[in-house]
Structure 1
């Protein structure tokens, strides 16, 4: 897992940015838990083994979780792996260009622009949408909650502890959500507008 002080500080910096930009969602009872999940887990510093290594383990876990599919797992893996890679690029650029910690938001956005990852960032937003939609669907399967709680140890032994934690926290965060669409629309528009502004497309 990336361990430089720049990467670690970047995680803290981004969570504060998200808390600021989505404070109204945090204040909304229906979305409070989901907003916390979005801030802490979807942008969190996760690390996974190579996708093909984890893929070989999927069939040993899927049958223990009612309603969970290989596609659900793969979307989550894609999102978390992509997030780690993109954040590491920003952290590396800041370090290699001798920006000091704490860096400013202007410096952070400069790094965001200089690493030239517009298309992957768009893909990240798409994966956030798809992952949340899938977890929201799973949250309506009552037996899945018990299954996720009962398989924590197994998932850890199989080297899928962080992925299991992500699904478990997402399941509980989305339980109170009746209408996911307004949340996804707000996040998508906010993040795309920010991305286009940084890349000087608006």
Structure 2
């Protein structure tokens, strides 16, 4: 990882921390953000209910649900990302570093958009109508396109990693050193992502489905159409 890339990764993590600090100073905003994240996790599970029952795609769908969506607390993982940046290339192969950088960029963008949407919510008691209104008030279609593109990029990176036969063994050998270095959460994410995508035996169809549905839903929300949220 070159110096510029390291600075970019660190800047993304600092942006995430800035969003958390801002919310912590406003408990009402924090409550609305947490409610929003929980709603979005339910929405993802609703949108991909068919994939959650498909033996081939269920693990990857659950990985997306818990690692890229939802109200899970990623503070420990983010802190590990930040701490390991100066020595990232010593511990992880370049392909892994690239995946981590994309995840950090996605994380920073998603946190900012979540804060902005929460600012337009009247209360933590979300309804589909309130969600659509906040989405449209927040706007930023270019940022939403980037968010979807980065989600795809993380998935594509994980899929590429599975085509490197020696990488899984490398990750396994890194387990002990990573734990000793206090990088257990980061190591878990990498191993879980690798195993999940390898088990799919090709992620092309899965990622294309996610891309198509997310693009369609985003446009529907900008148009004020709540059909994609029916039943929530």
Could you say whether these structures have the same fold, taking a TM-score greater than 0.5 normalized by the shorter chain as the test? Answer: yes
Gaps (5+ residues) in structure 2? 1-19, 25-29, 226-232
Relative distance call for 1:39 and 1:114 in structure 2 (3 A) is: same
Please say if 1:138 is aligned against 2:161. yes
Partner SS, residue 91 of structure 2: coil
In proportion to residue count, which structure has more helix?
2
Q: Please state if 1:100 is matched with 2:127.
A: no
What residue in structure 2 maps to residue 111 of structure 1?
134
Deviation at 1:65, TM superposition (A): 3.0
* Pair 1:64-2:91 in alignment: yes
Question: Which of 194, 198, 201 in structure 1 is aligned with 2:217?
Answer: 194
Structure 2 match to 1:183 = 206
**Residue 14 of structure 1 aligns with which residue?**
40
Q: CA deviation at 1:201?
A: 9.3
1 CA distance for matches of 2:180 and 2:139?
40
* Aligned equivalents of 1:85, 1:124: Cα separation in 2: 11
What is the CA-CA distance between 1:91 and the residue it aligns to? 1.3
Alpha carbons of structure 1 residues 162 and 142: separation in structure 2 relative to 1, 3 Å: closer
Residues 28-76 of structure 1 deviation map (CA, whole Å, 9 limit, x = unaligned)? 1111110001111111454547xxx93x843513332346343222111
Of 63, 66, 80, the residue aligned with 2:107 is 80
May I ask how many residue pairs the two structures share in their alignment? Answer: 191
| Distance in structure 2 (CA, Å) of the matches to 1:117 and 1:44 | 21
* Structure 1 unaligned spans of 5+: none
TM-score (norm 1): 0.82
Q: Is the 8 A contact 1:66 1:143 kept in 2?
A: no
The secondary structure found in structure 1 opposite 2:55 is: coil
